[in-house]
Amino acid sequence: MSDVPGAGGLGGGGITDPKSDPQYIQFKALPADSGKLNRWSSEVTRGHEFPGAQAMLYAAGVPDEDMMKNAPQVGISTVWWEGNPCNTHLLEFGKIVKKSVEKQKMLAWQYNAVGVSDAITMGGEGMRYSLQSRDLIADSIETVTCAQRHDANISIPGCDKNMPGVVMAAARHNRPFIMIYGGTIRKGYSQLLEREINVSTCYEAAGAFAYGKLQAKTNPGAPGRTPSDVMSDLEQHACPGAGACGGMYTANTMATAIEAMGLTLPGSSSYPALSPEKARECERAGEVIKTTMAKDIRPRDLLTKEAFENALVITMILGGSTNGVLHFLAMANTAEVGLTIDDVQRVSDKTPFLADLQPSGKYMMEDLYKVGGTPSVLKMLIAAGRINGDIMTVTGKTLAENVADWPSLPPDQKIIRPLSDPIKASGHIRILRGNFAPEGAVAKITGKEGLSFEGKAKVFNEEQELNEALSRGEIPPGDKLVLVVRYEGPKGGPGMPEQLRASAAIMGAGLKNIALVTDGRYSGASHGFIVGHVTPEAARGGPIALVRDGDTILIDAVTNRIDITNVDDAELERRRSEWVAPPPRVRRGVLAKYARLVGDASHGAVTDQWDD
């Protein structure tokens, strides 16, 4: 086995010829030594070939020559920063992991990757930075791991883009790796609404507020109980502490999927952020990463087609975020696994939707944790033949072995329906094509709003236009409308911003006559009749750029079609001949670089597309 980044492993996804690996840089490869845990770091710590490097390492904390020459070096990358509850606690988790690694007589180097809060940036210009932060995280962890010759990596992500970012980095450096999810937040509670709440409640309440439908649960006319006071109450109590947004939103979607892929310890995705179990998971990390290193289990060994199938299955079962589609495609691209949007539809067709979890349902991840969490769900699905339990995991055991001793779901629990009695017989995520989206679009349709929708188009050239119209109460509750938000794709946005502010406002206002369609994307907290990821996007001249107010759009989640039905091909071509691409919104900085490099949503919106 060659010791270059990306090479080898158990064989499931390893590269036998190092020069065929996209991560291969023309430096001297190390001698193969499957029993050597410091196979990468020894390049600079053996002998006296790199005395300056060793001097710097002594200054950084290597205690003696024996540790310098023989101890493996493990990077601990936290996606930590103080301004977001999803991430604010991750530095402390990193310190616990550092101690656990040092307990195994290995060197532990803690560092950080920056993130973006989707909830804080939602609906504003800051949201354009969200998706590109996935690449920023992957780039930074790959950079430190490969530049510093770390022998393994333990990544601790919290918010949405963090999880795919750290996995993409792992696929690039392909060194022993574990992900520890930062965990879910506790539920909030509103005294004025007299019910449990979460961050999504705030966005839906904004729609009710704009349309005059928000009031306190009791004594609505009493002092201090105005709609404005209800909003203040929600804002102050929706997020009671550290942890990622608590429904089956994007963070929990990605965490559960990555656990089903075998890249975390069992239970990682469902332990609440501030639970004793989460701290114990961090304490186990050193022992487990040493096993992973000793057995030479590499990320590309685990990032197989079968693992991605598991990820898709559990996402459909739990009613996960449409963002999962974007991230699975990106992760697969980075690992050079041939996953397509057609695979997403194939799995959706055969997988029932079982979970009564928010945003479309009642319960939160905290509730699922109390009845056994993700391992209990996996145990049920493995027994039913829905999840492949034979895949290898970071523990050195199979997925089935990891959950074998976990308790089964209690028979009286109400969160996960029986396979024989699903909420919907097939998955809620649908891949649509048609003359509106020839290269695909992603719909999130649970069936609660029906399976088809036809209405007149009302077009907005950016999300802010729609947000302002909703804030002013200008979207009427009568005629059936398809609100089209365009020029918000990966290139045109740039950054493919999420449109939770609009989708939640529509739900909160009770506008059941509305479907929302965009070349941007949605938060995992979004629900309703929504279609995103329209490809080609408007900035690339896709048909979404040609649609006009009053055109009739038909969305059909049974035939998986999305079409402009009252405009023929000749008219579309005439409109195309008149279309002029708008100038880029951003010309300098990270978003301009991103817009120049990013691919389309149907291939994961990646900046380093792998071509087979």
HSE-CB at 325 with a 13 A cutoff on CA atoms is: 36
Of 140, 321, 523, 526, which residue is the catalytic one?
523
Residues 304, 342: Cα–Cα separation, whole Å: 17
> What would you report as the CA-atom Rg of the chain, rounded to the nearest whole angstrom?
24
pLDDT (tens digit per residue) in 351-385: 999 999 998 899 999 999 999 999 999 999 999 99
pTM listed for this prediction? 0.93
Residues β-bridged to residue 74: 108, 152
Q: Residue 511 to residues 216, 227, 526, 557: CA-CA distances in angstroms? A: 20, 19, 14, 20
pLDDT (tens digit per residue) in 390-419: 999 999 999 999 999 999 999 999 999 999
pLDDT (tens digit per residue) in 442-491: 999 887 778 899 999 999 999 999 989 988 888 888 789 999 999 999 99
> Do 18-37+72-185+245-403 and 429-603 share a fold?
no
Fold of the CATH domain 18-37+72-185+245-403: Rossmann fold (3.40.50)
pLDDT (tens digit per residue) in 302-318: 999 999 999 999 999 99
The matching CATH number, chosen from 3.30.310.80, 3.90.1180.10, 3.50.30.80, 3.40.50.2000, for 429-603 is 3.50.30.80
Phi, psi of 483 (to 5 degrees): -80, 120
Judged by DSSP in three states, 429 sits in strand
Residues 215, 392: Cα–Cα separation, whole Å: 52
Could you state, in order of their start, the residue ranges of all structural domains in the chain?
A: 18-37+72-185+245-403, 188-237, 429-603
| The pLDDT of residue 505 | 82
The question of whether 420 is a catalytic residue gets the answer no
Q: Is residue 32's pLDDT more than 50? A: no
Q: What is the DSSP string of 21-64?
A: STT--SSPPBPP-TT-TTTTTHHHHSTTS-HHHHHHHHHHT--S
